[in-house]
Structure 1
Amino acid sequence: MKAQVFRGVNQLSYEEIPVPEILSDEVLVQVQVVGLCQSDIKKIRYPLLNPPRIFGHETAGTIAAVGSDVKHWQVGDRVVVLHHIPCMHCAYCLNESYSMCEVYKTVTTTAGFIPSGGGFAEYVKVPGHIVQHGGLMKIPAAVTFEQASFVEPTNCCLKAVKKAQVQPGQTVLITGAGPIGLMFIMLVKHFGARAIATDLLPSRIEKALAVGAEAAFDARDADLPAKINALTDGMGVDTSLLAVPSDKAFFQALDCTRKGGKILFFAEFPDEVEIPINPNILYRREIDLMGSYSSAYPLQALSADIVFNQRIDVDALISDRYPL
């Protein structure tokens, strides 16, 4: 089979490699569509992981083979592959912090080499743990593979929206209107809140408005806090979702978030970045700072419902299509 093999920083090699062999409890999926996640790009561009690897984790495809012990799945089934499934019995899982579980964090879906997702290949092997515990989801006939590939990133964004307890009637500031920021806008609107977006690119500002933002501004606008105050009766937004790893975006969010509001870090910052803050700002204004990493196991069904039933328009998030 063909695969794009990571051979080093900025080196993807289009190679012929063996089709993965499956064990009795495993499933082999023929990849139809895989999303290109920002985390994939980061792993390719920076010396974060040792080669060789095959990345790609927003995967949708067709089951090509099933192990002898696999039940409920058949060759030809159209499926979403979820690469993170928790163990359900460690201390983190028992406290419902599923994404902190070591089993969850350890990627085991693979097309070969060091398991790293495997979606950038013609076939990917899904291990028994994932097959047995909800890591395959059947795609309804009316849903395209492209749409289905959005279930995993939708889960990640949905987890953040739920963690921030976004409520109907609230106003949410979303810093960054890339694919994740745009998905945040659609989810915030779906749950009955108003979205305000910022970005540096005019095309993304226009796109934010097109997918449902009530307002969208250039992030460099010095009058941004005043404009947001005008849109929120002088209060500021209830919640800010940081979809870009920018200290400037954080301080901007701090200026725009109301007393008693929340700021959620969604984008991963470079490790060397430190943000100095006077703790009295949080104390006196009762601002909650929180983080949201990856997806949430309990939200799998809701994420699939949102995508499969077109409660948000994931087709609007597709900008380009590339062959393997």
Structure 2
Amino acid sequence: MKAQVFRGVNQLQYEDVPKPEIAADEVLVQVQVVGLCQSDIKKIKYPLLEPPRIFGHETAGTIAAIGAEVKNWNVGDRVIVLHHIPCMHCAYCLNENFSMCEVYKNITTTAGFVPSGGGFAEYVKVPGHIVRNGGLMRIPDDVTFEQASFVEPTNCCLKAVKKAQIQPGQTVLITGAGPIGLMFIMLVKYFGASAIATDLLPSRIEKALSVGADAAFDARDPDLSSKIQAMTQGMGADVSLLAVPSDKAFFQAIDCTRKGGKILFFAEFPDEVEIPINPNVLYRREIDLMGSYSSSYRVQQLAADIVFQRRIDVDALISDRFPLKDLAKAVDRAVSPTPDTYKILIYPQQ
């Protein structure tokens, strides 16, 4: 089968690799669509993991083979493959910190080499513990593979929205109107709150408004804080979601978030970044700082329902489609986006 093999920093090789062989409790999925995620790009662009590997984890496809012990699944079933499934019995899982579970972090879906997701290949193997514990989800007949591939990123954003306890009637500031920021806008609106977005690109400011933002501003606007206060009876945003790894965005969020509000870090910053802050700003204004990493098993089904029932318009997020052989071009497009670049999808079967 064909796969895009990571052979080193900025080195992707489109090559033939053996189709994965499955054990009695495993499933083989023919990949139809896989989303290109910022975490994939990071692993390709920086020396974080040893090659060779096959990345890709926002995967939707068709079951091509099942092991003899697999129940309730059949060849031909349309499915989502979820690469993170927790053990459900460690101390982290018992406290619902699923993304801290070692089983969760240890990726086991694979198309060969060290298991690393495997979606950037024609076929991916799903191990037994993921098959047994909810890591395969059936795609309804009226839902496309493209739409289904958004369940995993929707889960990640939904986890953050739930963690920040966003409520109807609140005002939420979303820094960055890329694919994740746009999804945050949709989810914030779905839960009855108002969304204010910022970005540097005029096209993304317009896009934020088109997907439901109540207001959208240039992130460089020196009057941003006063404009948000004017929209919130002098209070400020109830919650700020940082969808870009920018220290400037963080300090902007400090200025724009009301007393007693919350600031949530969603985007991952470079390890060398340090943000100095006077702790009295948090103490006197009672602002909560929090982080949200990856997805949550607890909201997995809700994320699927939101996508499958079209509560958010994921089709509006798709901007580019590339065949698997052009993955390197897709990565370049994501790193140097055009004004109209949002979510990029990859097609292994073309």
TM-score by length of structure 1 reads 1.00
1:185-204 aligned within 5 A: 185-204=185-204
- Structure 2 residue aligned with 1:182: 182
- Structure 2 residue aligned with 1:267: 267
Q: For 2:321, what is the secondary structure of its paired residue? A: coil
AA of the residue aligned to 1:224:
L
Shift of 1:96: 1.1
AA of the residue aligned to 2:310:
Q
- Structure 2 residue aligned with 1:209: 209
- Structure 1 residue aligned with 2:226: 226
Shift of 1:10: 0.8
- Structure 1 residue aligned with 2:53: 53
Shift of 1:273: 0.5
- Structure 2 residue aligned with 1:84: 84
**Separation (CA, whole Å) in 2 of partners of 1:52 and 1:202:** 39
Shift of 1:272: 0.6
* Residues 195-238 of structure 1 deviation map (CA, whole Å, 9 limit, x = unaligned): 00001111111110000001111111111101111111110000
**Separation (CA, whole Å) in 1 of partners of 2:77 and 2:247:** 45
Shift of 1:95: 1.1
- Structure 1 residue aligned with 2:339: none
AA of the residue aligned to 2:274:
E
Shift of 1:99: 0.7
**Separation (CA, whole Å) in 1 of partners of 2:256 and 2:96:** 31
- Structure 2 residue aligned with 1:312: 312
Shift of 1:33: 0.2
Shift of 1:94: 1.1
1:1-324 aligned within 5 A: 1-324=1-324
* Residues 60-84 of structure 1 deviation map (CA, whole Å, 9 limit, x = unaligned): 0000000000000000000000000
AA of the residue aligned to 2:294:
S
Q: For 2:319, what is the secondary structure of its paired residue? A: coil
Shift of 1:105: 0.5
* Residues 243-288 of structure 1 deviation map (CA, whole Å, 9 limit, x = unaligned): 0000000000000000000000000001111111111110100000
**Separation (CA, whole Å) in 1 of partners of 2:49 and 2:200:** 30
Q: For 1:322, what is the secondary structure of its paired residue? A: strand
> Could you say which structure has the greater relative contact order, defined with CA pairs below 8 angstroms and 6 or more residues apart?
2
**Separation (CA, whole Å) in 1 of partners of 2:236 and 2:289:** 16
**Separation (CA, whole Å) in 2 of partners of 1:320 and 1:137:** 25
AA of the residue aligned to 1:131:
V
AA of the residue aligned to 1:61:
G
Q: For 2:241, what is the secondary structure of its paired residue? A: strand
**Separation (CA, whole Å) in 1 of partners of 2:13 and 2:49:** 16
**Separation (CA, whole Å) in 1 of partners of 2:252 and 2:179:** 21
**Separation (CA, whole Å) in 2 of partners of 1:9 and 1:209:** 37
**Separation (CA, whole Å) in 2 of partners of 1:222 and 1:48:** 37
Q: For 1:130, what is the secondary structure of its paired residue? A: helix
**Separation (CA, whole Å) in 2 of partners of 1:97 and 1:34:** 26
- Structure 1 residue aligned with 2:327: none
Aligned residue pairs: how many? 324
Q: Tell me the percent identity.
A: 85
**Separation (CA, whole Å) in 2 of partners of 1:230 and 1:111:** 53
Q: For 1:319, what is the secondary structure of its paired residue? A: strand
**Separation (CA, whole Å) in 1 of partners of 2:309 and 2:137:** 14
AA of the residue aligned to 2:141:
A
Shift of 1:320: 0.3
Shift of 1:313: 0.1
AA of the residue aligned to 2:152:
E
AA of the residue aligned to 1:295:
S
Q: For 1:300, what is the secondary structure of its paired residue? A: helix
**Separation (CA, whole Å) in 1 of partners of 2:190 and 2:93:** 29
TM-score by length of structure 2 reads 0.92
AA of the residue aligned to 2:49:
L
**Separation (CA, whole Å) in 2 of partners of 1:196 and 1:6:** 38
Shift of 1:304: 0.4
* Off by >3 Å, runs of 4+ in structure 1: none
**Separation (CA, whole Å) in 1 of partners of 2:133 and 2:231:** 45
**Separation (CA, whole Å) in 1 of partners of 2:8 and 2:220:** 35
**Separation (CA, whole Å) in 2 of partners of 1:84 and 1:118:** 13
**Separation (CA, whole Å) in 2 of partners of 1:318 and 1:7:** 28
CA RMSD of aligned residues (A): 0.5
